[in-house]
C-alpha cells in the first residue's frame, strides 16, 4: 500500500487530492423495511479485513510522516444494499469478501420479513458505515 501511495503522490499535480474510501469496522445493520421505513433491525458483526484496514492505516501514516500528503477532511457515510429476500442478500454477501456471509442470520431475517409484511411488500436493507477521507498532495518534493 505504501508503494500505491507513493505512486499516487508521483502522478498527482501539486495540491491534488487523494481520496481514501473504506468500510468502518462497526457492525452492519440489517433491517426489514416496508416502503422506506425500518420496522425491525439487527446488528451483525460481519466485517472481514481488519488486517487490510490496519495495513492501509499504517501506509497512510507513513505517507503523512513523509509529508507526501496532508490530511484535509473526513466524512462518514452509510452504504445501503436493498434486497427482496434473505436469499438475495446471501448471494450478494457471497460475492463480496468484506461481508462474512456465515454470520448473517438469513433464516431469521427471512422469517421476520415474512411475519412483518402484513400484506405489504417487505424488503431487506443492509447498511454498512464507510469513511471517506481526503488528503492533499504537498507541493514540495517528498
Tell me the C-alpha distance between 60 and 65, whole Å.
9
Q: What is the pLDDT of residue 19?
A: 96
- Burial class of residue 12 in the structure, from the number of CB atoms within 10 Å of its CB (0-12 exposed, 13-18 middle, 19+ buried): middle
Residue 34 falls inside a structural domain: yes
| Number of domains into which the chain is organized | 1
Residue 142 falls inside a structural domain: no
Q: What is the pLDDT of residue 47?
A: 64
Q: What is the pLDDT of residue 113?
A: 94
Residue 26 falls inside a structural domain: yes
Residue 41 falls inside a structural domain: yes
Q: Which residues of 33-44 are buried (b: 16+ CB within 10 A; e: fewer)?
A: bbeeeebeeeeb
Q: What is the pLDDT of residue 51?
A: 82
Residue 75 falls inside a structural domain: yes
> Taken in order 52, 58, 61, 63, is the CA torsion positive or negative?
negative
Q: What is the pLDDT of residue 76?
A: 95
Give the range of the structural domain holding residue 101, as residue numbers without chain letter. 2-137
Tell me the C-alpha distance between 36 and 27, whole Å.
21
Q: What is the pLDDT of residue 98?
A: 56
Q: What is the pLDDT of residue 11?
A: 94
Q: What is the pLDDT of residue 141?
A: 55
Tell me the C-alpha distance between 107 and 125, whole Å.
15
Tell me the C-alpha distance between 99 and 49, whole Å.
9
Which residues of the chain fall below pLDDT 70?
46-48, 97-102, 140-142
Residue 80 falls inside a structural domain: yes
Q: What is the pLDDT of residue 97?
A: 64
Angle at 46 between CA 22 and CA 87, to 5 degrees: 110
Amino acid at each position: 500500500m505504501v508503494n500505491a501511495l507513493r505512486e499516487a503522490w508521483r502522478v498527482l499535480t501539486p495540491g491534488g487530492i487523494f481520496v481514501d474510501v473504506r468500510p468502518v469496522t462497526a457492525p452492519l445493520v440489517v433491517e426489514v423495511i416496508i416502503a422506506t421505513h425500518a420496522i425491525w433491525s439487527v446488528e451483525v458483526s460481519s466485517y472481514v479485513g481488519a488486517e487490510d484496514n490496519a495495513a492501509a492505516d499504517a501506509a497512510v501514516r507513513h505517507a503523512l510522516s513523509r509529508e507526501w500528503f496532508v490530511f484535509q477532511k473526513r466524512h462518514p457515510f452509510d452504504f445501503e444494499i436493498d434486497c427482496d429476500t434473505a436469499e438475495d442478500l446471501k448471494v450478494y454477501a457471497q460475492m463480496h469478501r468484506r461481508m462474512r456471509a456465515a454470520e448473517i442470520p438469513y433464516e431469521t431475517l427471512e422469517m421476520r420479513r415474512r411475519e412483518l409484511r402484513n400484506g405489504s411488500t417487505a424488503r431487506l436493507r443492509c447498511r454498512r458505515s464507510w469513511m471517506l477521507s481526503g488528503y492533499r498532495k504537498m507541493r514540495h518534493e517528498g
